[in-house]
Structure 1
């Protein structure tokens, strides 16, 4: 969940919890997030903070791939993030469809439409299809 986001906290219990969620730790001055365990969170507040962190990570990937912060649909963001994470081997249209939350074998052109829109924005070479696998 927190792959790519660095944390700092001096609380051993929270270090364990966050580590189990994929968090990495660094020195306080270099951390993306400084987690203060003295602040009391309700479960809803904690959930909100966790979702904010996930969005920060997604924004970093989008910025790295696109070179800028840009307004994209959720489907376009998910496709870019998935292709970025699968950059070595690529990913099939069917697997991208699953990443977008569609059922296997569902009849939809959501993936094709989102890829078409991304190619319109960034150029034809932004997303390539080689051997049935999409790659950045």
Structure 2
């Protein structure tokens, strides 16, 4: 006698087999594992994105404050310190000694440095400009 097997159900065509009704425990655990991994990776990506956004926001605020300090700082030799929000800053202006430079044109180096208190990052900008006129005696 020739037997014909149904490879899907692994039963003979005439036998009584239970119908496939619902998920098996292995299928449910597999789905739960996939769901857990997906949620875990999504949360990790969200934390990374938030940190990147905080760094970008700090860099924007530092850029604005540096620009403000460089534009509004008085044209005087020396250093000035201060604190603004989450930043401590220092603006200094020193004579720039360039060898072979024109003695009639004295240049000074103005630099502003910020230190972010929470992150510990440091931001710096510098430029050269004519030195302030010395008071006449």
User: Shorter-normalised TM-score: what interval?
Assistant: under 0.3
TM-score, with length taken from structure 2: 0.24
> Which structure is richer in relative contact order (CA contacts within 8 A, separation 6 or more)?
1
Larger radius of gyration between Structure 1 and Structure 2: 2
TM-score, with length taken from structure 1: 0.24
